[in-house]
Chains A and B, each alone.
Chain A
């Protein structure tokens, strides 16, 4: 029997509120299926299952606040035999064992046991969602429970304040624990811009590539050269990641930001990165992120160019160990072959975790980005 537990959707998450189950007992699920929606301070997230099997039992009710890693459901693996239900004992209330992990009052449990009611199917209206005697009585007569289920998406009273609190916690931790060093390099973006223009002529308007796609691609490729910027620092040690889950800082319209990750970005072309980024932005703003996209980033990029910012000093998202910033692409005087000429220039910056890497390696990383952007066709 496999267990499905509340995932950590970010280093700052302590618990989540189950909004709804998208599956019911008996449903067959495969790896990656969305099985629940969970509300966090960063919005409602669709949560995936990482194991194939059959849903055996849902252990928490919508509305329940479940701590990270708290048990939520049981899955029966493929090929695992169905549990043999014991033959009903004669004249004994065998039907409803008190269900573990369910909050029910002692009186409710006893009555459910006497009446043979499955508490897993009863809505709890008592303190902290506990099932009360009245709920069991209501279930017994088949009537709806005395209190209707709550609105499907219980947002915190002040979602913006909660989000701000979550950001504050994560960023305070970052500045407290991570010794940041900062580097920046100006990059001639002229060839990259020409290449983009050539590409976009061939594309429909809706599929046009934006400069950010090239910047993301250059970042991913440069990581292959300096892999010690890609990973997490946990339990006092750096863990280098084999894949690049590229976090992208996305501003929310209501304030605050989220940095969900483009998973396995090292496999994606420029064009695919563009499509994934657009999809991610749209889903972030409509609160339809997947659990695997949160808390799994291995390096994050903050692109504040469209805000007119020249140089970004990023604050690393713990437990990651580096963050890359890109400023505005703007025409500046640039010396090329002994002549000054106006060229589109972008400033790439890096915040690195000094526990893991040094300025020397960080410099190589920025140099790699510059070299890649000078040869965009190779990206």
Chain B
């Protein structure tokens, strides 16, 4: 059946709230307003204010409360409106959620799920357009995932709730309206592996989140020019599924990583380092990256679009690797 990324997320929340009485959803405007991105519309009416809780505009406070609830035996889903505001609760996520198991000598698991929107492209200006997944993917003690398909939007939440330790789910805000085919019996998916979204033999495109549709579009354009690109969706940003992308690069010998983050210190840098560590002798061209330009994301539409990874940039990066140079 046809559905949207947003509807699939909502269905995932319903399922979780229905199946497990310990699950609750909390965050800014998740209740009466239905969520800043309308993911939780109708859930307050269906499940009541005990389980769908509006919180004050105080990220450190309500993320801390979520961590406490998890320590106390609940299975909270905490929605931080966007990654931009997560900087206010970074202390809770890094210093409490990610470290308590270690610092308590294995006594205190923190089974909290923290969701947040991420990414640029909607003219929300520099301070509301960040892609900081790599900051969190840097931290031991967290699992960081990012759905890019309706299937993963539907299936990642339940699996995340089963994890005894903190899981961060990033949702690229451009994807909420993404339409896709979902099997009627679609359910939980794993949070461990990357997926090949399009097979190919000439070059591997590795990406995640909001850049997946752009990479797939670039692969389509490349196919008309006789270049078969394999597109890999990382899905899980920590821990990285090296096995899948190394296997692909060993086959294609060439790789372009597409990452909406800035290139310096990016996830793209981490992926390429692992490729160089694990498949150096297989490479037939220098690994390449298409990342956001290293500027605060511009407000003006043309400039914003120019700053982000786009299909044309991806195609150009691939052609620089596969075209004969003589």
Contacts and interface: CB of A to CB of B under 8 A. Distances in A.
Interface of A: 63, 105-110, 124-130, 132-134, 146-150
A106 B280 contact: yes
B289 to A, nearest CB: 14
A146 B284 CA distance: 15
B21 interface: no
Contacts of A109: 281
A107 B282 contact: yes
A20 to B, nearest CB: 15
A133 B325 contact: no
Interface residues of B, number: 13
Given A127-B320, A133-B253, A108 B326 contact: no
A127 B286 CA distance: 8
Given A107-B253, A107-B282, 4 more contacts: A126-B324, A127-B325, A130-B285, A147-B325
A129 B285 CA distance: 11
B321 interface: yes
B281 A126 contact: no
Interface of B: 253, 280-286, 320-321, 324-326
B326 A125 contact: yes
Contacts of A124: 325
Interface of B is mostly: loop
Contact of B281 (A110, A132, A146): A110
A106 B285 CA distance: 8
B283 A126 contact: no
B324 A129 contact: no
B282 A106 contact: yes
A150 B326 contact: yes
Nearest to A145: B324
Contact of B324 (A105, A125, A128): A125
A105 B283 contact: yes
B283 A107 contact: yes
B325 A126 contact: yes
A127 B285 CA distance: 7
A127 B326 CA distance: 8
A107 B325 contact: no
A133 B280 CA distance: 13
B207 to A, nearest CB: 21
Nearest to B283: A106
